[in-house]
Amino acid sequence: MRDLSGVDSMFLALESRTNLFQVGAVSVLDPATAPDGAPAPHAALQQVLAGRLDRLGPMRRRLVPVPGDVDNPRWVEGEPDLDRHVRRGALPAPGSERELAAYAADVLARPLDRDRPLWEIHVVEGLDGGLVAGVAKLHHSIIDGVGGAELTAQLMDLTPEVPAASPSPARGAEPAPGAVAMLAAAARHGPGRALQAGRVTLRMTSRALALRRRNRRPGSVHPPAPFAGPRTSLCAPVGPERSVGMVQVDRADVEAVREATGVTVNDVVLYLAGSALREHLARRDELPERPLVAFVPRSTRGPATSLEEGVNSLSGMLASLATDVADPLARLLTLAESAAAAKDQERVLGEDLLADLAGLVPPAVLSRVGGLTRAAGLTTRRPPFSVVVSSFPGSPVPLYCAGAELVAYYPFGPVIDGAALNITASSYRDRIGFGMLACRDAFPPGDMDALGRHLVESMGELVKTVTAPGAPRGRRPQSRRGGP
């Protein structure tokens, strides 16, 4: 048995019927590379999971809430029923990418059963070309983006040869703690939480003063403040349905831009998201004068943080998407400067800020505050940011699952009231896959298709801009690493 961290518990406490804190991915695989005689894809994945569960802690644990939600829930170990967690699906052959997107949208729109380990994988057959897709859904309380990539890697091999099956040793079901014991533990945590609140308050005050001194320096750039972004159709309340978009760009194009301008890969990802949204809003005659603001989750997972721990190691920052700048190169450099300032601010405030704040409030209070905020529509009337955009690196070499070659990978993050669109990107081999998840009311499938086209077109436009003969060379904004 183990306690959930404050961040993990927060994702559960703030969840509602429509605001689902779930992450996911679509993995497209080619079973033609599997050895002769390999089982069907659904059975093959079950065999892989059965043999590797001892390495997949987040997939073995079941949630046990504390009575009254007066303290963070507990995880207890168990053996998941793979028939319930690994589902078999199919598209009418030959299934198109748009049909796969609709299937994934339906999966990601449904909440996970909290009485079982919080994950599902749907093995979808019938794709065009004989391909198969794995549509994975995991609760954010058990994994973050980088942890999800690590979990995917644990299910993969570097060659199509399938290792001999050796089921993990049976662990048996860990008994759930009793209500009295959990309430007693919660009572013991109370004084510690009060002391922690005092320490966090002092630390935040000191860091806020340091940030204020830093921002007074001549020429300092300030990232956007919370609630400073414009109100657009992206800030809609989230309904029960989802739409999904999946597109890819060449890593070589991203590298060409990076080398020509000195910006980071993450800056290019932000540029593509912002440029696609700029075009989307302009076509709706809705482009605001103020720039859109992205919330950018950042992993703080260190080498000592293992997948077996299954905890979220997250920070985050706000960055301008410079959607008020018409010129592509100027937009990229303006955006990169905002992102550099946001990273500096994050260093001053501390990467542990989110974890500190999440650990101060018991789930019952968080849940109540979240419900009141949704009911009052506070985050839709004055959104803290416009969109969530994140990226993380994936494998540069080919991967195989049960002998089937992974040919494309698209990750997805959650959407919430006030930020009805999430754009997440991950590299794999020579491509970067963008998974776009949105509330269907805010982004119907047709709009999502157009957004994907705008993103790909923005990549081509930027490459032409920075590689044309005589093109001006930008300069990456220098990160201000000095002390306060």
Residues annotated catalytic, as ranges = 140
Computed from CA positions of residues 257, 258, 261, 267, in that sequence, does the dihedral angle turn out positive or negative? positive
Q: Can you list the positions of beta strands (E) in 278-354?
A: 293-299, 314-320
CA angle 28, 393, 43 (to 5 degrees): 30
Give the C-alpha separation, 107 to 243, whole Å.
10
Give the C-alpha separation, 292 to 276, whole Å.
12
> With contact defined as beta carbons under 8 Å apart, do 159 and 405 qualify?
no
The DSSP secondary-structure symbol of 140 reads: T
Q: In 3D, which of 418, 201, 234, 390 has the Cα closest to residue 323?
A: 234
CA 21 to chain centre: 10
Give the C-alpha separation, 223 to 242, whole Å.
31
By three-state DSSP, how is residue 151 classified? helix
- The per-residue DSSP string of 188-250 comes to HHHHHHHHHHHHHHHHHHHHHHHHHHHHTSTT---PPPTT-SPP-GGGPPP-S-EEEEEEEEE
Give the C-alpha separation, 484 to 481, whole Å.
9
Tokens of 261: 């301008």
Give the C-alpha separation, 234 to 123, whole Å.
31
Q: Count Cβ atoms within 10 A of the Cβ of residue 302 and give its class: 0-12 exposed, 13-18 middle, 19 or more buried.
A: exposed
CA angle 394, 400, 406 (to 5 degrees): 60
Pairing of strands 22-30, 132-139: antiparallel
The DSSP secondary-structure symbol of 327 reads: S
Give the C-alpha separation, 75 to 62, whole Å.
6
Give the C-alpha separation, 9 to 165, whole Å.
35
Give the C-alpha separation, 408 to 424, whole Å.
14
